[in-house]
Amino acid sequence: MAFIPHTPADVEAMLAAIGVPSIEALFDEIPASLRVKSLAGIPDELNEMEIGRLMSERARLDGRPLCFIGAGAYEHHIPAAVWAITTRGEFYSAYTPYQAEASQGTLQLIYEYQTMIASLTGMQVSNASVYDGASAVAEASLMAVRANRKSKSQRILVPTTVHPHYRKVAVAAAGNQGLRFEEIPYSPGEGVIAPTSLARYEGEDITALVIQQPNFFGRLEDVDALTDWAHARGIMVIAVVNPTSLALLKPPGSWGSKGVDIAVGDGQPLGVPMSSGGPYFGFMTTRMEYVRQMPGRIVGRTVDLNGREGFTLTLQAREQHIRRAKATSNICTNQGLLMTAATIYMSLMGAEGLERTAAASHARTRELLTALTRLKGVRPAFQGPVFHESVVLLDRPVAPVLKSLASRGILGGLDLSEYYPELGHALLVCATETKTAADIEKYAAALGEVMQAARAA
Amino acid sequence: MSKVPADLKYTKTHEWLRTLPDGTIEVGITDHAQHALGDLVFVEVPEAGRAVKAGEPCAVVESVKAASDVYSPVTGEVTAGNPKLASEPEVVNTDAYGGGWLMRVRPVAGGPAAELLTAAEYEKLQHEEGD
């Protein structure tokens, strides 16, 4: 049986009915300059045998480098059971759980996910996940504009200590909807939001303030003071947090005297492999009073006619299949499979396991920083506490150093010169619980050699 | 047959209007509308001070079946949104023409207004829509 449901005659009939000469003509409104004629390097078709061979050749090119890059995606140990369970057919192939009578397992899992994420962030309600951390920031900004009814400005303050990609995605996704994202500089020696930089917004109409904790540099912001400063001025607070860090740090629901209004983040550290950059998933939580302004799915627990417990999608009137153009978002789906993995990861790790992972990552990072800054030509960029990431400054350009390290099988960190040129030769490094003392020693020794060779050259 | 008080004005989009002694206009949804929506679970009303235009969505009523916009029948400034509905949306079901009012608007003098119907005309409209 053909998988294409329409015969050429069907297609002809449909085109004739709407008075269009060809399928191609349906795409007329896309300017020719934006159309791709052919994809370079992509063959028209390969059969199963050919594609199998190509992919196994490609797979052989994969290395297992020693990775010290974080910057938004973190290498954590994922217990084997996580993906063994996640890839069971019941989870792996299940589509959207609109039919509650056929989806109780999926719905209950989402409900458990929401409960765990709400408990981890200290917030009252979580949705069923969104695409990723970056799009979660964009959605949170749009949500703040809807929820902060006293503010008319649609101005969102975003410190430059927020992940550069998140800032870019927020502008791309929400900038054309009237939102204005205004950057706040960080304190040069400290790598955190400078309280003095907020003074200039005194008395102005601001909709929301975004605070990332730990921030992109791995540093810890003074979240209590920032949250209270914003709330005292009618500004909503959007927290961007790393879920692993919440096992050690104060959850956003407890920041300041009343907690943040919206907390989001990327869920990748919870059982999702780095996979060359995705797919990951984003999480999104808020206070109950704003739940109807939160986009995306929410699963609720209820009882059926006979009083038996059951699970169902709830508050759907916020979603696009009901409210059409008035929906809270044009993305009302969730990142089902990755959220499933995260739920299983969290349930296997438990609160204690997550805390141990966070503590070990913090300890490994401190060891890494001690080992690296002991080297000639390497010094810390900022003073003050970090979680599992930090910035070091080299006495020479970072890119060639990273290239030499890569040839030794070490991914030495992220070169920040593209994102923060003012920092000079800055390198963002990270160590999680997956790094041993020997790994750290190996990295420090290699960096020392590479730097010395560069000086000698 | 749903109730259609004779002393009110109506819109084709199922809002009712009552002119209060101070000249402001109280707006709600009709008994017919609440009945069609079913049990309301959430009502979002505009804040005082908001400028509304005739025909513009100004409130949201959400029931177990659907969510609908409520359109302002007049152009003016909102003087009050019904604060009670945040915690008791069901009042719109039980008392659509009284405690279930949604907002009060001070109309702009001579400003545009939606086409208003008398009670008799609105009853006729309901018949046509198959009530």
**pLDDT (tens digit, 9 = 90+) per residue, A18-40?**
999 999 999 999 998 998 888 88
Q: What is the mean pLDDT of residues A127-135?
A: 96
Alpha carbon B45 to its chain's center: 11
Q: Which residue, A321, A345, A369, sits at the end of a domain?
A: A345
Kindly provide the ipTM of the predicted complex, given to two decimals.
0.75
Is A323 an 8 Å CB contact of chain B? yes
Q: Does domain B29-109 have CATH number 2.60.40.10?
A: no
The mean pLDDT of B11-38, rounded to a whole number, is 95
Per-residue model confidence as pLDDT tens digits over A164-183: 999 999 999 999 999 999 99
Residue A350 in any domain: the answer is no
A261 and A390 housed in the same domain: no
Averaged over A320-346, what is the pLDDT? Answer: 87
B22 touches chain A (CB under 8 A): no
Q: Other C-beta atoms within 10 Å of A93: how many?
A: 9
Between chains, do A323 and B67 touch, taking CB under 8 Å as contact?
Answer: yes
Q: Quick one: pLDDT band at residue A192, thresholds 50, 70, 90?
A: very high
* Residue at A215 is within a domain: yes
Contact across the interface for B57 and A326, Cβ inside 8 Å? yes
User: What is the pLDDT confidence band of residue B67, given thresholds at 50, 70 and 90?
Assistant: confident
The mean per-residue pLDDT over the stretch A41-54 comes to: 90
Contact at CB, B42 and A322, closer than 8 angstroms:
no
Number of domains in chain A: 3
A1 domain residue, yes or no: no
Whether residues A143 and A255 fall in one domain? yes
Q: Which domain holds residue A31?
A: 8-61
Residues 92-121 of chain B whose Cβ lies under 8 A from any Cβ of chain A? none
Strands annotated E in A357-409: 378-380, 389-394
Nearby residues of B104 by Cβ (< 8 Å), 6 or more positions away: B20, B24, B25, B26, B27, B78, B79, B80
| Assigned token pair, A126 | 């979580």
Are both A323 and A383 inside the same structural domain?
Answer: no
CB-CB neighbors (< 8 A) of B69 in chain A: 326
Residues A340 and A363 occupy one common structural domain: no
- Asked if B67 and A322 come within 8 Å (Cβ–Cβ), the reply is yes
Q: Are residues A54 and A155 in the same domain?
A: no
Each domain of chain B, given as residue ranges in start order, spans 29-109
Q: What percent of chain B has pLDDT over 70?
A: 98
Q: How far is CA B19 from CA B8, B26, B107, in A?
A: 8, 6, 10
Decide if A2 is inside a domain: no
Q: Which residue type sits at A175?
A: G
Q: B83 CB near a chain A CB, below 8 Å? A: no
Shared domain check, A231 and A125: yes
| Judgement on whether residues A407 and A372 belong to the same structural domain of the protein | yes
Q: Which of B47, B57, B60 is closest, CB to CB, to A149?
A: B47
Q: Are residues A240 and A369 in the same domain?
A: no
Kindly state whether residues A37 and A137 are assigned to the same domain. no
Asked whether the beta carbons of residue B62 and residue A326 sit closer than 8 angstroms, the reply is no
Residues A152, A182 share a domain: yes
Strand B40-44 with B67-71, pairing: unpaired
Cross-strand pairs, B70: B59
* CA–CA gap between residue A391 and residue A315 (Å, rounded): 43
Whether residue A140 sits in one domain with residue A272: yes
Q: Which domain CATH number covers A184?
A: 3.40.640.10
